[in-house]
Amino acid sequence: MKSTLRSAAVSLVALALAATAAGCSSDKATGGSEATGPDGVKQGPGVTDKTIKLGIATDLTGVYAPLGKSITQAQQLYYEEVNQRGGVCGRTIEAVVRDHGYDPQKAVSIYTELNNNVLAIPHFLGSPMVSAVKQRIESDKMFTIPSAWTTALLGSKYIQVTGTTYDVDMINGVQWLMDKKLIKKGDKLGHVYFEGDYGGSALRGTKYAAEQLGLEVFELPIKPTDRDMKSQVAALAKEKVDAILLSAGPQQAASLAGIARSQGMKQPILGSNSAYSPQLLATPAKPALVEGFFIATAGAPMSADLPAIKKLAEAYSKKYPKDPLDSGVVNGYGGASIVVSALEKACANKDLTREGLINAHRSEANADDGLGTPMNFTYFDKPATRKTYIIKPDEKATGGAVIVEQAFESELAKNYQVPVGTF
């Protein structure tokens, strides 16, 4: 009893002391008011007279580390080039890179930090991470480009999903398979997909296309931890599918293609954009991937015949000679250019606040940075483009992939109603 009394007394004293101490000045008390620079430009968080800070919340140690690294390095390359040209609005761009290791909790902490000191987040990797802070992005008005292409992230003014969503890619892809006579009406598609919004988004597209084109769909959900596709291949063989669709990771792609081909299955395989990475060509799965394996993606491959991409490939290989030229490079570079062109517009409006930045961005109806994916940013309840490239692995090409079909928008994809904020 005595000890309880004593500890209670001590706690009270502690609280009293604490309260007194807290009364003293704290720089938290001042609160961040928006300032105006000497050049008359209104400045938001992360903007000073000399610098503009941009946040990169990426994965450098988790499952998507290779992708995160490519995107991050490509963005840093872009900012370096911009700074060499004299920066934006007379200010140099400074990237604040943070690694969340594909852990939502770390991502929330990182976002809280970035919210304090950056103007926008041109690269935020992973839909679970972006979903975790979606409401905060809205209330903080943080212009964010997620590196995830699910329809679940559509519908927010502040979140710009670049390129197509997974469902649109699949619709265009299935249509392309029909056009090329690789499948015909009444055929059966086997779709192997990750449970969750990535696979779910893609499957939705497949089902829509199948319904419109008179095809059947055999659904085969898997988990990211399933690496050996033996039983999936067996199931696909048993169902006698005429084409295989794949919305999973590169490891699954290698396993699935390798096992299917070794068992003499000759069906075409069509993957979502996250199902392939050029590193696969260095594995024993290579022979299986160079024949009859296609990827539907909104991003042009590094081998595309576009001056901007050629320049990028050269600059990137010069700066990071050891790193592969995968789809993340074009993607990250493109994301950085979207934010920088919004910054330039916002600067012309003399408003580098978060509100000013997003309004500048949303006024762009025909953004084309020469990287092969023109987009419209004036709406956010639909994908910014519905054009999909069909590419295929090729070990001789820069970046390990070549274009099979130039970007196109099928009639089906044009009329497709995209779900918003869900999948």
Q: Is 120 in the site for another protein (CB under 8 A)?
A: no
Rank residues 133 and 342 by Cβ distance to another protein and give the closer one. 133
Burial 35-68 (b: 16+ CB within 10 A, else e): eebeeebbbbbbbeeeebbbbbbbbbebebbbbb
33 is an interface residue for another protein by CB under 8 A: no
Q: What is the DSSP string of 141-205?
A: T-EEEEE---GGG-S-TTB---S--HHHHHHHHHHHHHHTTSS-TT-EEEEEEESSHHHHHHHHH
Question: Is 109 among the residues that bind another protein (CB under 8 A)?
Answer: yes
Pairing of strands 243-247, 269-271: parallel
Give the Cα separation of 107 and 132 in Å (integer).
8
Question: Contact with another protein (CB under 8 A): which of 80, 83, 132, 404?
Answer: 132
What letter represents residue 102's amino acid?
Answer: Y
Q: Per rule CB under 8 A, is residue 422 in the interface with another protein? A: yes
Binding residue for another protein (CB under 8 A) from 52, 83, 136, 330?
A: 136
Q: How far is the CB of 396 from another protein (least distance, A)?
A: 27
Is residue 134 at the binding interface for another protein, with CB under 8 A as the rule?
Answer: yes
What does 113-136 look like in DSSP terms, one character per residue? HHHHH-SEEEEEE-HHHHHHTHHH
Q: Which long-range contacts (CB under 8 A, 24 or more apart) does 178-186 make?
A: 178/213, 182/243, 182/268, 183/215, 183/242, 183/243, 183/268, 185/213, 185/214, 185/215, 186/214, 186/215, 186/216
For position 321 contacting another protein by CB under 8 A, the verdict is: no
Q: Is 354 in the site for another protein (CB under 8 A)?
A: no
Residue 282 is a binding residue for another protein (CB under 8 A): no
Nearer to another protein, 39 or 195 (CB): 195
| Residue among 175 and 247 whose Cβ is closer to another protein | 247
CA gap 210, 191 in Å, rounded: 11
- In this chain, which of 47, 54, 60, 67 binds another protein, going by CB under 8 A? 60
Binding status of residue 103 toward another protein by CB under 8 A: yes
Stretch touching another protein by CB under 8 A, among 91-99, 212-220, 235-243, 305-313: 91-99
Interaction between residue 299 and another protein (CB under 8 A): no
Residues lying near another protein in the complex (CB under 8 A): 3, 6-7, 10-11, 13-15, 17-19, 21-23, 26-29, 31, 56, 58, 60-61, 69, 72-73, 76, 95, 97-99, 101, 103-106, 108-110, 112-113, 115-116, 127-128, 131-136, 139, 152, 195-197, 200, 223, 320, 421-423
